[in-house]
Structure 1
Amino acid sequence: MREPLPADMFDELCPSSLNPIRFGDKWAPLVIRCLEHGPRRFSELRVPLSRVTPKVLTQSLRSLERDGLVTRTVYAEATPRVEYELTPLGRSLLKPLEVACAWAAEHWDELLDARESYDAAARLDRAG
């Protein structure tokens, strides 16, 4: 039995959400992290990725599959079961992703300050 993914794996204060490096799409790095320790079902991925709509998660998984980073396996059982798993190519992204997440954690305050400053300036431009 696999250990369940924690619901707060990617809470809003997680540096992963500020990671400026994109692998595929906005949610792809988080999906890759969820698959780090082995295959997962869609419903398992939904727990830590609760901010992602099912439609967008499906699109992200399809994109990762298209890029050769994830495999989708359908098990023909009484109740069909589908699992997603990192390919060797997908697993090769774990180290760079770890480095990118560490960078985002180190520069968390600077990233937030930059975004807040930009958003404030944009609001002034629209108002003025």
Structure 2
Amino acid sequence: MAGDPSFAIPQRPERTYPYSGGVKYEGETVFRLVPAADRTDADLDDLVLTVLESGPYRYGDFLNLPMPLYLVRDEETRDVFRLSIRDGEIRLHVLPDTESDGLRAMYDRIADRSEGDWRVTYETRE
């Protein structure tokens, strides 16, 4: 569709494994889905949960954080990414193997289940 946002990934994070243990990501690309009408984080979380629960997703949330944060796997596209909600926007965090199709599918499902338009921007950090 003309005018649809692009989910081309300009920079991928690199996964490293520090000697001290754990996983660290260097670099970042985050797509921000901003509703045209103001919505609370709780309203956005309800919308996201509706989309996640209706599939084709497997997901888990991170407990005890000051904001909703999910690790999401799209079973159709096989893409994995993080999704967070903060300051009235939904953020899709690219992981090293994330492809555009999974991000686009999430956006399409969110847009289909909500009223109003969405603006999509992205930012990268080294």
TM-score by length of 2: 0.28
Judging by fraction of residues, say which structure has more strand: 2
The structure that has the greater radius of gyration is 1
Judging by fraction of residues, say which structure has more helix: 1
Higher RCO (CA 8 Å, separation ≥ 6 residues)? 2
